[in-house]
C-alpha cells in the first residue's frame, strides 16, 4: 500500500513538472515566428494539462524509464 501511494505521489510530481515545462516551452517555441513552430508551440501550450496528465498516467502505470519500463525489441531473431 505504501509503494502504491509513493508511485501516486511521484506520478503527480511528474505530471506537474511536464505541465510546467509545456507551459514554459510552448510560448517559447511559438515565438520563433515560423508558421510550423507557432502551430506546434500553441498546441503544446494549450494542451499542457492533457500532456501532464498523460505523463502522470504513464509514470504511474509503467514506472520510470530507467526501471521497469522498457521498449520491445524489434524484430526478434528467429530461434536457432
SS3 call for 1: coil
Q: What is the CA radius of gyration of the chain?
A: 17
Per-residue pLDDT reduced to its tens digit, 1-53: 787 888 888 889 999 999 999 999 999 999 998 999 999 999 999 999 999 99
The conformation of residue 45, written as its DSSP 8-state character, comes to H
Q: In this predicted structure, what is the pLDDT of residue 80?
A: 74
Amino acid at each position: 500500500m505504501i509503494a502504491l501511494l509513493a508511485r501516486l505521489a511521484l506520478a503527480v510530481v511528474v505530471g506537474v513538472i511536464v505541465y510546467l515545462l509545456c507551459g514554459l516551452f510552448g510560448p517559447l517555441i511559438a515565438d520563433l515566428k515560423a508558421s510550423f513552430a507557432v502551430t506546434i508551440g500553441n498546441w503544446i501550450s494549450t494542451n499542457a494539462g492533457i500532456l501532464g496528465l498523460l505523463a502522470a498516467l504513464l509514470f504511474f502505470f509503467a514506472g520510470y524509464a530507467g526501471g521497469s519500463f522498457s521498449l520491445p525489441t524489434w524484430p526478434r531473431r528467429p530461434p536457432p
